[in-house]
Amino acid sequence: MKDVTYYKDRARELFKEGYNCSQAVFGAFAEELEISFETAVLISSSFGGGMGRLREVCGAVSGMFMAAGIAFGTTDITNHKAKSDHYALIQSLASDFREQNGSIICRELLGLADKKPDVPIPEKRTEEYYKKRPCAELCADAAEIFAKRFIESKVKND
């Protein structure tokens, strides 16, 4: 198993390669979650920019939640304890991200609190873009938060 730093760096790297925030985080865990990278980036493609640039829940957070669903989710719809435990995990991951970054809402993280949903056209990824956007680091933060839980659970179960 890879270490926390690997996932943190991988998510940051994927974002800088041009993947959206959700794809960067979810894609960083694809191999460990036993799904193809292509499947991971397809599933998470709609969640960038706070869900299709609506600037709602940060895509990095959504990517973290998708990874948590595969790693810790349940398919047993009658198991209310498992569902409750999973939702508690999701809330805890969100709380950790919020504590570290101040919010889980894209528009707030980007300082666009007064802005309505953005146009659907993504910005060009230029040097200037990377200087003004904290997204690469938000991806790294989300990946780090999830990796700590993921690795801890693997160690316990081995």
**pLDDT higher than threshold 80 for residue 94:** yes
Structural domain total, the chain: 1
| Per-residue confidence (pLDDT) for residue 106, from 0 to 100 | 96
pLDDT digits (tens, 9 = 90+) for 53-88: 999 999 999 999 999 999 999 999 999 999 999 999
HSE (side-chain half, CA atoms, 13 Å) at 142? 34
pLDDT digits (tens, 9 = 90+) for 131-156: 889 999 999 999 999 999 999 997 87
Query: Does the residue 33 lie in any domain?
Result: yes
Under the banding of pLDDT at 50, 70 and 90, the label for residue 50 is: very high
pLDDT digits (tens, 9 = 90+) for 34-45: 999 999 999 999
| Per-residue confidence (pLDDT) for residue 133, from 0 to 100 | 92
Query: Does the residue 158 lie in any domain?
Result: no
Query: Does the residue 56 lie in any domain?
Result: yes
Task: Name the pTM for this structure.
Answer: 0.95
Q: Domain limits at 66?
A: 4-153
CB-based contact 55:105 (threshold 8 Å): yes
3-state SS string over 135-151?
HHHHHHHHHHHHHHHHH
* Burial grade of 152 (CB within 10 A; 0-12, 13-18, 19 or more): exposed
* Averaged pLDDT for residues 3-12: 97
Q: Cα 8 to chain center, whole Å?
A: 11
